[in-house]
Chain A
């Protein structure tokens, strides 16, 4: 991506302590101009805290923030060119849609005609122009959502911060809004940082994903990279499904490491490993194959087992296979190729280079 070079926000070794708990530990992050960065992590991992520090609603215990090269660490929220859409929206209940959306401009003393014009513009953008004079307490969840986003967007912030804005909505509506949010981001063209604990939401929305756990930012990257090359077990298991094998390495040669996992031999790409080391090998279910005959060729790891359970998911099927060593692994197969039944004896195999070895 060409825009990758242009860092709009630099988070430099930020930590935050609340009493005894460290909500953030030494987080560093570059945010690129115009991107939609999703921060993903389980509950309590520090996502909101990081967002609130960027917005200026919380002060960092240590570390600095730079926006376009300028140190903004000590600026109050109203002097920052960011705007936040809150986890519970925080619409002003005593105001109409118009009054909510116009709030920021009115505070800044923008003339009435310009406010009117810009409110109409932004309400059209989020497609709720007809609700302009409705009380916000009389709106549906999805409509309130749009008001909250419009209220921030109207200020044309350099960075829009969204803290699980879809958290309260049902799954179907969320999915619709995902598409709309992507369209909106394209249209507006500013930088968004979107927080969620839902990996599917993250994969749908993101250009890049940052994965957080226990106050640490574990990995940041293009979403494909994070999905295909997770850096830790936590990332591999949190984003998407995976099979995890604990392998003791006994041989490293010719760029290939080999070891054993509960009686099976497995090989994978060497990552500077030494014999005697124990690593975790992550293999995505969609990278596994099943057949009744053993595969031809040297480049595969091959297990043998019995089909235990078949889970039909519409376009694909998940097979749970009980291997000969008693472990269960999951394999996904497109429905049109799903020709196995529980009880069938099968071979499960994958190419060496599809396994991702992880040290932690």
Chain B
């Protein structure tokens, strides 16, 4: 048995060797969040922080309809984008994993390439497609389907959803692909042997077994997207405004207390949702069937 002093020496050594990393995380993460939370309870002032406690910021956010709508908008946009992402991404993954697995194994790598392209470049590409003088409008005009450019295509709610889908699609296809490939072929054969046709196999075996991928998508796409500010501020215009844009506006306008309050609300919401999902499905659901 080790002597008590030896043991505490050991502990001290472990503590000291972990200190730099812990300190880094603590200062860069928790302390800054602490400061943010503290500031959110101070009196709204421009340029300065006046250290006196008040709930004023929060009261305003929850009573003023001008704030409520971007918050709801955020949820709506992200929810719609996530649902569409699954609707688009799942069939692609299904095709690559089950219908044409030989192609799938080659093609899945190509899905990762767009991720490497800077999103600014992608945003400009979308402007060229969706903008007032963009490809889509020119096409529709020259075909005579419309007689003046469609304006809702760009600087809009619609554009945010489109660009979000483009941004996140690989992150949806890949988890579904990995999940689907991992389902043993024998399960499908057993179901077929027990009398199920293709559709019944799909609904009774495939769908329930891709729950882990759905959860992964919720965690790596839905929740992070709630804080998105680059895409809505670049392509969103007024109808595509999101909480992130609002926070950015207040912070760059040096209305720190207010920006901090909005940030804290966002933080609480994403944390709450994460905890809720873990409570409902359990940690295991992410990797276990």
Contact = CB atoms under 8 A, between A and B. Distances in A.
Interface of A: 55-57, 76-78, 82-84, 86-88, 90-94, 103-104, 107-108, 137, 151-152, 155
B194 A155 contact: yes
A148 B189 CA distance: 13
Contacts of B197: 78
Contacts of B20: none
Nearest to B196: A107
Nearest to B192: A77
Q: Which of B192, B211, B289 gathers most chain A CB within 10 Å?
A: B192
A90 B208 CA distance: 15
A90 B205 contact: no
Given A78-B197, A88-B184, A88-B186, A94 B192 contact: no
A133 B194 CA distance: 20
Contact of A77 (B193, B208, B211): B193
A82 B200 CA distance: 19
A55 B193 contact: yes
For the complex, would chain B's binding face be called helix, strand, loop or mixed by DSSP majority? helix
B187 interface: yes
A155 B289 CA distance: 26
A86 B186 contact: yes
Given A78-B196, A107-B200, A108-B195, A86 B289 contact: no
A86 B187 CA distance: 9
A57 B187 contact: no
A57 B193 contact: yes
Q: Which of B192, B193, B197, B205 gathers most chain A CB within 10 Å?
A: B193
B125 interface: no
Contact of A90 (B187, B200, B209, B289): B187
Nearest to A148: B190
A183 to B, nearest CB: 24
B191 interface: yes
A93 B289 contact: yes
A254 to B, nearest CB: 57
Instruction: Report the 8 A-B pairs with minimum CB-CB distance, sorted nearest first.
Output: A90-B186, A104-B194, A90-B190, A78-B195, A94-B208, A107-B195, A84-B193, A93-B289
B204 interface: yes
Contact of A103 (B184, B186, B194, B211): B194
B187 A92 contact: yes
Nearest to B188: A90
A151 B184 contact: no
B189 to A, nearest CB: 5
A93 B187 CA distance: 9
Nearest to B205: A92
Interface string B197-235: 100100011001101000000000000000000000000
Nearest to A87: B186
A61 to B, nearest CB: 19
A84 B208 CA distance: 23
A108 B211 CA distance: 25
Interface of B: 184, 186-187, 189-197, 200, 204-205, 208-209, 211, 289
A266 B189 CA distance: 54
B195 A104 contact: yes
Given A90-B186, A92-B191, 18 more contacts: A57-B192, A78-B195, A78-B197, A83-B193, A84-B190, A86-B190, A87-B186, A88-B186, A92-B187, A92-B205, A93-B289, A94-B208, A94-B211, A103-B204, A104-B195, A107-B196, A137-B289, A155-B195
Q: Which of A76, A82, A104, A151 gathers most chain B CB within 10 Å?
A: A104
A151 B204 CA distance: 15
13 contacts: A57-B192, A77-B189, A77-B192, A78-B192, A78-B193, A84-B189, A87-B186, A88-B186, A91-B190, A92-B190, A93-B209, A107-B200, A108-B195
Q: Which of B184, B194, B200, B289 gathers most chain A CB within 10 Å?
A: B194
Contacts of A88: 184, 186
B213 to A, nearest CB: 14
Contacts of B194: 78, 83, 103-104, 107, 151-152, 155
A87 B195 CA distance: 19
A83 B189 CA distance: 11
A248 to B, nearest CB: 51
A103 B193 contact: no
A47 to B, nearest CB: 16
Contacts of A78: 192-197
Contacts of B193: 55-57, 77-78, 82-84, 152
B180 to A, nearest CB: 14
A76 B209 CA distance: 24
B289 A94 contact: yes
Contacts of B205: 92
Contact of A94 (B184, B195, B209): B209
Nearest to A151: B194
Contacts of A82: 193
Contacts of B289: 93-94, 137
Q: Which of A90, A91, A108, A137 gathers most chain B CB within 10 Å?
A: A90
A86 B209 contact: no
A6 B241 CA distance: 77
A73 B208 CA distance: 33
Contacts of B189: 57, 77, 84, 86, 90
Contacts of A94: 208-209, 211, 289
Given A88-B184, A90-B186, A103 B191 contact: yes
B204 A90 contact: no
B93 to A, nearest CB: 19
B288 to A, nearest CB: 8
